[in-house]
Amino acid sequence: MHLLIIIATLIITLVFMFLTYLLFRNYFYSIIFPLNTATRIFFISALFGSGMSLYLFSESGISLLNHYYETNHLGLGIGVFLVGVFICFCFNIVIFRTTILINKISIFENEHAELAKGNLLIAGIQSITFLIFIFLLSGPLIQLILNLIQ
C-alpha cells in the first residue's frame, strides 16, 4: 500500500509541477525571452511556492488516502486526492494572478516593463508577495476543504 501511495504521489507531483512550469513559463516568456535575472527570480519563487503548496495539500491528501484505504474505499480516496491536487493547482493560479494584480495596484510602475529591464526590486517584491500568500492561505484553505469533506 505504501509503495502505491509513493508511486501515485510521485506521478501526481511530476504532472503537477510540469503543468505549473508550462503555465508560468508562458507568462514569463511573454515578458522577455530569454529570461533575465529578475524574471528568473520571480519564476523560481513561483515554482517553489507552487511546490510548497502541493506539499501542504498532499499531507492532508495522503492522510485521507490512508483513511479511505483502511475503510476499503481506495477509489474514493484517490478521487478525493486528485480533486485536492486540482484545487491546489487552481489555488496557485489564483494566488499568482492576485499577486500580480496587487503589485500592479500598489506599485506605480509597469511590472512587465520593469521585469523586462531586470529590476530586481520588483521581482523580489512580487516573489515575496506570492510566497507570503501561499504560506498564509494554504492552511486555511486545506482546513476548509477538510471540513467540507467531513
List the chain domain ranges.
Answer: 2-149
pLDDT tens track for 83-139: 889 999 999 999 999 999 998 888 888 888 888 898 999 999 999 999 999 999 998
pTM of the predicted structure, to 2 decimals:
0.88
Give the whole-angstrom CA distance, residue 60 versus residue 56. Answer: 7
pLDDT tens track for 18-53: 999 999 999 999 988 899 999 999 999 999 999 999
